[in-house]
Chain A
Amino acid sequence: MIRPHDSIIVQTLGRFLIPVVQIFGLYVLFFGQYGPGGGFVGGVILGTGMILSVLIFGHDASRSQYTKNVLHGDGVGMLIYAGVGGLCMIGGGEFLNYANLEIPGLETASRRSLGIVLTQIGVAIDVAVTAVSIVFSLSAEEIMEDSING
């Protein structure tokens, strides 16, 4: 069980830092098309932002069922990844051959670009959620049970 940090400095700095970290994570994720970056690194940074918010504001910052179910997101991320690959196969190409992504009105180059962005988003979600769930499962057992059974 992680309790909120009681230092006002940490709390105030956290309010500033976390959005910046998240935006930087998104930047790294989308910049992966043109330079260093991509889904894994972007996902790690996004996950770090979430871990930071849990460490500063505690587990109970949000009590909604929604946040608990978010931990099933690793399945969703993989599903996006495999789903894009599957769409390429339906389009007649190999698994993850983005040129065969059947989207009307797009050239081959744009299809490839869109395809890789979509799969990287899937990877990023997966990595971020995995990082958060590792922290949760290390922190306390009852929360682990909640997130699994919830």
Chain B
Amino acid sequence: MSHQLPAILFLLPLFAAISMPVVCLKHRHWSQPISVAILAAMVLVSILNLHNVIQHGEVRYMFSGWSAPIGIEWVADGLASVTLVLLSVLGLLCVVFTGPTFPKALGGRIVHFYTLILLLVCALVGMVFTRDLFNLFVFLEVAAISSYALIGVAGGRALFAAFRYLILGTIGASLYLLGVSYLYAVTGTLNMADMANQLPLLISSKALIGGLLFMFMGLGIKMALVPFHAWMPEAYTHAPESVSPILASLVTKVALLGWIRITYWVLGAPIVIFNIPILLLVAALGTLAAVIGAFLALAQQNIKMMFAYGGISHIGIILIGLGQGNQTGFAGGIFYLLNDAVMQAALFFLAGVAFCQYGVRTIDDLGRIGKQAPWLTGSLVVIALGMIGLPPTGGFFGKWYILLGALEAGNYVSIAAVLLSTLLTLAYFVKLFESIFRQSSTQLDVQSGEIPFSFKLTLGVTSAAIILLGLFSAPIVQLLLNHALPPGF
């Protein structure tokens, strides 16, 4: 039974998504409880799966019973299983959060909304597990198409942002596919492990280099790496309040995970192409993203826009960790990825509550309601501690391990970049707090009433998770070091 767990994790949301239009044909309001139940079941199964992987080692799953280089192979290793636990927990919170924030304009299309959310979750599960380059493309597209629809679902300004995302996302997917086809032409295989065996002999092949370039550019667009990030803040800002948490916390992070798979599992990290060490390139891109993203965040007035740019800068910090080429840096990067997913979810929950409960979109308005909203301000303090990276939050330990890795590798530019980005993060949160705690004569008089339970739950759980990830950072990083490192690292 335990060897079926990866497939079960994927099939739970898939079955729910495809049967929902039929099941909820007469009873539209069932769709949210069904989604919550399915994601709660996924949380249980993913924890079982993680336990199983830790106890008995990685699980290889061959679809249709075709063995590895021919069939599609899924591997539940440590990295995938840890990510899956995070994915299902955050997915559950995001679906719980959708209840009171649901866009009124949607009306009868509520069933389709939850169908899309579940499809998005099942595509993300596939992207985490798969070890087949083409399969990765398929799930990338399923996730992207559901995201386009989810962003544009409320109409208005969001439609424009969704269309822009659609154009850029499609270009990204096409580049990725082009890259995969180059690699397939050179190696004759799509299986990651099989390709990894063949690549060392072909390393000077121009087709291989071109293919890798296309793939990395494609995935770079998907994960909003700095030169390709233009679609992301617009899309996340104008997306409905109930959608942006799941997009910000999961979609870009899982695309990043796909990128990590290709860099470390297919390519093998310490590879040198044309005298350029790949890892140096990764660290350089990370440095760029970390600093530029934070600068841009500092310039924003809209809360969601600021948080989205903060996410871009954190992608850079993760890449800096991954680019150090040692175990500490890698584990730190992955740990920071987990933290960042939680923090992004928390930030966009917060922005959602601020808008739905108090009608606040900009930093100035946030200042006017600060004292009337204890839940909002309280969780903002915790999230700010995590984003800046102060102990005892997970953000601190993530950056700590990344810095240790950079010290080990002697990469002082990376250290400077992480510190500069931390300072800039501090600056934009000071901007927020300054606005909240300033003695403001124009208090906004909001008759908001009691804040709904699901808001309290999501804000509370994510804030607690930020601190708990910090308190239990040592066992989690140890787990990552024992089970989640790439082969031969």
Report A's interface with B, CB cutoff 8 A. 69, 72, 74-76, 78-79, 82, 85-86, 89, 93-99, 148-149
Task: Determine if A94 and B61 form an interchain contact, defined as CB atoms under 8 angstroms apart.
Answer: yes
Task: Determine if B7 and A75 form an interchain contact, defined as CB atoms under 8 angstroms apart.
Answer: no
User: Which residues, 1 to 26 on B, are CB-close (under 8 Å) to A?
Assistant: 4, 7-8, 11, 14-15, 18-22, 25
Give the residue among B19, B25, B64, B109 with the most A Cβ atoms within 10 A. B64
Q: Which residues from B are CB-within-8-Å of A149? A: 108
Given A79-B18, A82-B15, A82-B18, A89:B63 Cβ within 8 A: no
Query: B24 CB to closest chain A CB, in angstroms?
Result: 10
Query: A interface, by DSSP: helix, strand, loop or mixed?
Result: helix
Q: Which residues from B are CB-within-8-Å of A89? A: 4, 7-8, 11
> With the chains together, A89 CA to B18 CA distance in Å?
18
Query: A147 CB to closest chain B CB, in angstroms?
Result: 11
Q: Which residues from B are CB-within-8-Å of A74? A: 21
Q: Which residues from B are CB-within-8-Å of A85? A: 11
Task: Determine if B61 and A82 form an interchain contact, defined as CB atoms under 8 angstroms apart.
Answer: no
B314 at the interface (CB under 8 A from A): no
Task: Determine if B22 and A99 form an interchain contact, defined as CB atoms under 8 angstroms apart.
Answer: no
Contact of A95 (CB < 8 Å), options: B18, B20, B63: B63
Q: How many residues of B contact A (CB 8 A)?
A: 20
Query: A107 CB to closest chain B CB, in angstroms?
Result: 16
> With the chains together, A75 CA to B65 CA distance in Å?
26
Task: Determine if B18 and A94 form an interchain contact, defined as CB atoms under 8 angstroms apart.
Answer: no
Given A86-B11, A94-B7, A75:B20 Cβ within 8 A: yes
> With the chains together, A6 CA to B11 CA distance in Å?
48
B207 at the interface (CB under 8 A from A): no
Given A94-B65, A95-B7, A96-B64, A72:B25 Cβ within 8 A: yes
Task: Determine if A72 and B65 form an interchain contact, defined as CB atoms under 8 angstroms apart.
Answer: no
Q: Which residues from A are CB-within-8-Å of B108? A: 148-149
Query: B417 CB to closest chain A CB, in angstroms?
Result: 44
Select from chain A the residue with minimum beta-carbon distance to B6.
A95
Task: Determine if B11 and A82 form an interchain contact, defined as CB atoms under 8 angstroms apart.
Answer: yes
19 more CB-based (< 8 A) A-B contacts, given A76-B22, A78-B18, A149-B108:
A69-B25, A72-B21, A72-B25, A75-B18, A75-B21, A78-B14, A79-B15, A79-B18, A82-B11, A82-B15, A86-B11, A86-B15, A89-B7, A94-B63, A94-B64, A96-B64, A97-B65, A98-B64, A148-B109
A-B contact pairs, 29 of them (CB 8 A): A69-B25, A72-B21, A72-B22, A74-B21, A75-B18, A75-B19, A75-B20, A75-B22, A79-B22, A82-B14, A85-B11, A89-B4, A89-B7, A89-B8, A93-B65, A94-B4, A94-B7, A94-B62, A94-B64, A94-B65, A95-B11, A95-B64, A96-B63, A96-B64, A97-B64, A98-B64, A99-B65, A148-B109, A148-B112
> With the chains together, A99 CA to B64 CA distance in Å?
9
> With the chains together, A79 CA to B14 CA distance in Å?
9
Select from chain A the residue with minimum beta-carbon distance to B111.
A148
> With the chains together, A69 CA to B109 CA distance in Å?
15
Q: Which residues from A are CB-within-8-Å of B64? A: 94-98
> With the chains together, A86 CA to B16 CA distance in Å?
13
Select from chain A the residue with minimum beta-carbon distance to B23.
A75
Q: Which residues from B are CB-within-8-Å of A93? A: 65
> With the chains together, A34 CA to B318 CA distance in Å?
50
6 A-B pairs with least C-beta separation: A97-B65, A78-B18, A96-B64, A75-B21, A149-B108, A95-B7
Query: B92 CB to closest chain A CB, in angstroms?
Result: 22
Q: Which residues from B are CB-within-8-Å of A97? A: 63-65
> With the chains together, A99 CA to B66 CA distance in Å?
12
> With the chains together, A100 CA to B464 CA distance in Å?
45
> With the chains together, A95 CA to B19 CA distance in Å?
18
Give the residue among A74, A95, A97 with the most B Cβ atoms within 10 A. A95
Q: Which residues from B are CB-within-8-Å of A78? A: 14, 18
> With the chains together, A66 CA to B435 CA distance in Å?
58
> With the chains together, A85 CA to B4 CA distance in Å?
12
> With the chains together, A75 CA to B15 CA distance in Å?
9
Q: Which residues from A are CB-within-8-Å of B15? A: 79, 82, 86
Query: A101 CB to closest chain B CB, in angstroms?
Result: 12
> With the chains together, A44 CA to B471 CA distance in Å?
56
Select from chain A the residue with minimum beta-carbon distance to B3.
A94
Query: B94 CB to closest chain A CB, in angstroms?
Result: 23
> With the chains together, A69 CA to B26 CA distance in Å?
11
Give the residue among A93, A94, A99, A148 with the most B Cβ atoms within 10 A. A94
Q: Which residues from A are CB-within-8-Å of B21? A: 72, 74-75
> With the chains together, A47 CA to B18 CA distance in Å?
20
Q: Which residues from A are CB-within-8-Å of B109? A: 148
Q: Which residues from A are CB-within-8-Å of B19? A: 75, 79
> With the chains together, A16 CA to B22 CA distance in Å?
34
> With the chains together, A75 CA to B31 CA distance in Å?
15
As a 0/1 sequence over residues 214 to 251 of chain B, the CB contacts with chain A under 8 angstroms (1 = contact) are: 00000000000000000000000000000000000000
